[in-house]
Structure 1
């Protein structure tokens, strides 16, 4: 199936990316610059070399996909680098018509208590970079005059489902040392609770646009219900929730995200339409379970953050985009938001992800506008609901303007 929309139109239309990992989305040349500045050893100091050795077009498995994060996280423990990465990420999105992003990362991966790099320091450095890009773009006359929608962003903080006693980050290593008589899962949960409490405090006391909570990392063996208390705290403090669910585990993981973690959105959600991935022995009719869960999600307009390239890379059995479950999400009228996951690790852009989605499914203009709208209506906007509605309206009016300019009907 061939898309009817030109690359120029897809790039120009207003877009949002709601599933965007900061530490997986550095510029390759920026990573090299930062590594040299911070004396971090890389496998190569050329862009082509990094693409050949680390950030590949395809990967053998999830472990190989995650390999590059050891280098990006290492450079981001320098606050100058962290601010630069956030600034450049916003710039790169703006350059392809992405006017709203929700940047997510695990702040505790960047923390280094021995060097005085605490949670607040990490969050302020990240926000400073994003804010600088926002104010530079929004000062342009076309934006200031209302001819183009402004750029905006939110920050989603990730707790980690799992981490080891050494190597994940100086913070996690120190925490294991301090709580050495605790079970590993207790230490992991303690870190998650510390992170969510600090997130609410910085949002409320200093006004940082921390808009949501996520739980990331290996699903298998680390179910969402282990973090129910963490999500309850977010829920009780009006912090919105998304969950990595159904990326590499069955639909029962998605069900737990919804029922145990009050998920407002789902990260990936790929396995929803792969009943063969269900492992819970109590679910005897897997296809019926998947159908009922999909209907439940669609009825409640719970958005799925779709990351096609990432899924193809971490699940080689999918093959190509024609086999991706996006077509089932689309045909079952789920609210889907097209996202990148990791711009560097997956070597992609939001425009490229739309091209992939539209190559798999015939999407008329009205449905395409709906898909774009979900990115603005299902986001975790830092302002109030009235402000969010006004911003979404402005973005969708601009969509119509761009469609007319490109003679798209």
Structure 2
């Protein structure tokens, strides 16, 4: 499927905003409203580089970044304000509202609870999870009981929560919880401390889901990919697998296709976060892989055949991989050509200064995507999600949503 900068501008932003959408790769701590971040920082006496939106955009949340390190710099400020439970609930509520305002009626919000916990202040795992759920649930009730659903027939809003373990963290500075963990396990190797924290996270996630009914639907592993391969967390993912907690893995964002292979074979990944390097065989470093192009081709065929969905984050990839150059060079084109199940996602609405509608517009203006393929992409967001209900409920919700897609497409003269 060839790239084109003009062929499919027929998809207007109005149509894109109105059609139903899902965002399955959405980091809470990377998606705050900038004005809310400022207000929360002032309330909690957190120092920011600037206390104006323009100033934050200029100094922290830029349109372009030099590398992944600069991209991640802003999380120190967002995580700091989110350790206040009131701010955490408000940020979760506002994130749902912002998505609803652009026609996103299903989201899976992911974050690392242990980055926000503060044992000394009583900010525990359970309290963090309830604060996030309370904010999302408040938005859900307001929308589903409002005129959009009851009078206009739009699909209702649903959500799930994905908890992220961290691939790496240091003995201080990452969060009060991680600092405390290193103090308790001072005779352990750093990687062993990291793995203990990850196992604590998945056990707590299953407990809170099962005993308290919170819609914790999945496990993720995030953070520095290079040097912290997925296989080191095999036991963590096995625990999730045994307890029916679905799995996604940040894989192929900053490392070669062998990272994706490990996510699938060692971590039982149901979806892949980013997966960009799948079609970049030159990024493969494993010496035992001699024919890199054939390895990448075989892996891509396996992923396509198994319908393992890829969470595609175009703007984020362009910002963290400046070598890509123009968007037409993004491997999304190869994903389309190889018929992979792809889902358009934002990654971080604030850090990448984007929206779901903007990500769709970029994709549709750059790549040749007929309406049938567009509907497939939308459908994957509802068929490959980790819906908090049972399979029959998920199936009915997906059907309702895709019927609404046809209604919107008909309104705009596509069918």
TM-score range with shorter-chain normalisation?
over 0.9
2:218 pairs with 1:227 = no
User: Can you list the C-alpha shifts for 1:90-130, whole angstroms capped at 9, x where unaligned?
Assistant: 00000000000000000000000000001000000000000
SS class of match (1:42): coil
Task: Calculate the aligned-residue CA RMSD, in Å.
Answer: 0.7
Q: Which residue of 1 aligns with 2:292?
A: 286
> Residues of 2 paired with 1:13 and 1:195: CA distance?
36
TM-score by length of 2: 0.98
Asked if the contact 1:5–1:408 (Cα under 8 Å) also holds between the matched residues in 2, the reply is: no
| Partner in structure 1 of residue 248 of structure 2 | 242
Q: How much does 1:146 deviate? A: 7.1
Q: Which residue of 2 aligns with 1:177?
A: 183
Choose which of 123, 133, 136 in structure 1 pairs with 2:139: 133
State the alpha-carbon separation in 2 of the partners of residues 359 and 327 from structure 1: 12
One of 236, 261, 266 as aligned partner of 2:267: 261
* d(CA) in 2 for partners of 1:201, 1:339: 29
What is the deviation of 1:385? Answer: 0.1
Deviation at 1:144, TM superposition (A): 2.8
d(CA) in 2 for partners of 1:174, 1:206: 26
**C-alpha displacement of 1:141:** 3.0
Distance in 1 of aligned mates of 2:88 and 2:251: 27
What secondary structure is seen at the aligned counterpart in 2 of 1:266?
strand
Asked if 1:101 is matched to 2:107, the reply is: yes
Q: Deviations over 1:142-189 (max 9, x none)?
A: 413571100000000000000000000000000000000000011000
Find the aligned partners of 2:44 and 2:143 in 1 and give their Cα distance: 29
- SS of the residue corresponding to residue 310 of structure 2 reads strand
Deviation per residue, 1:324-347 (Å, 9 max, x gap): 000000010000000000000000
Distance in 2 (CA, whole Å) between partners of 1:407 and 1:29 is: 38
Q: Quote the offset at 1:214 in angstroms.
A: 0.1
User: Between Structure 1 and Structure 2, how many residues are aligned?
Assistant: 409
Please say if 1:361 is aligned against 2:367. yes
Work out whether residues 22 and 103 of structure 1, in 8 Å CA contact, stay in contact via their aligned partners in 2. Answer: yes
SS of equivalent to 2:201: helix
* Distance of 1:378 and 1:41 partners within structure 2: 40
Specify the alignment match of 2:413 in structure 1. 407
Q: Say which of 268, 280, 303 aligns to 2:309.
A: 303
Task: Choose which of 4, 23, 31 in structure 1 pairs with 2:37.
Answer: 31
* 1:383 equivalenced with 2:386 (yes/no): no
Deviations 1:332-381 (A, max 9, x none): 00000000000000000001111111122111111100000000000000
Q: Deviation per CA, 1:10-64, whole angstroms, max 9, x where unpaired?
A: 0100000000000000000010011011110100010000000000000000000
Q: Which has the higher contact order (CA 8 A, sep 6+)?
A: 2
Whether the 8 Å contact between 1:327 and 1:360 is mirrored in structure 2 is no
What is the distance in 1 between the residues matched to 2:352 and 2:346?
Answer: 8
Structure 2 stretches of 5 or more lacking a match?
none
Structure 1 match to 2:17: 11
> 3-state SS of the aligned residue for 1:45?
coil
2:378 maps to 372
SS of the residue 1:383 aligns to = coil
TM-score after normalising by structure 1: 0.99
2:87 counterpart of 1:81: yes
Structure 1 unaligned blocks of 5 or more: none
For 1:190 and 1:295, locate their aligned partners in 2 and report how far apart those are by CA, in whole Å.
Answer: 35
Residue 55, structure 1, aligned to residue 61, structure 2? yes
Does the 8 Å CA contact 1:192/1:230 hold for their aligned counterparts?
A: yes
